[in-house]
Amino acid sequence: MVTLIFATNNAHKAEEVKAVLGQYYDIKTLKQAGIFIDIPEPHDTLEKNAAEKSSVIYNLTNNNCFSEDTGLEVDVLNGEPGVISARYAADGPFSDNIEKLLYNLKDKQNRNARFRTIVSLILEGNEYKFEGICKGTIIAYRRGQKGFGYDSVF
């Protein structure tokens, strides 16, 4: 079984990836691989951030690895929060991001949105990029207890 280091410290993301790929790959989080760093996401695109994270891990370990960057893109907000989805409301708790989103949509009829994910996979030194999109709408209030991030309003 091929081992892939997943360049994340997010336990929820790791659980979701392992549920899908765990029968085909040995997925190791940064912590499980003995890597105790937070990799910044300094770029203005999901593509550049994903590539940054996977290249940092590959350069540190010379092992197969992958990373992702995901953004919630809302049509009527011109793609916001997008690449800054995790820090949309600055440095407060994540719930502040949801409150800011709902506030910015309070008078809007068009609530179409999508989650867009870019995956950067480095296998044997070669980078491959993938894009996934999940379309939906933003509801006016939080609902449900499962999931994480913007799941309660998407």
**How do strand 112-123 and strand 126-137 relate by DSSP bridges?**
antiparallel
Dihedral over Cα of 12, 18, 19, 20: its sign: positive
Strands (E), 18-108: 25-29, 65-74, 81-82
HSE of 112, CA atoms in CB hemisphere, 13 A: 6
d(CA 68, CA 119): 4
Catalytic status, residue 96: no
Catalytic residue, candidates 26, 44, 69, 96: 69
Catalytic residue annotation: 69
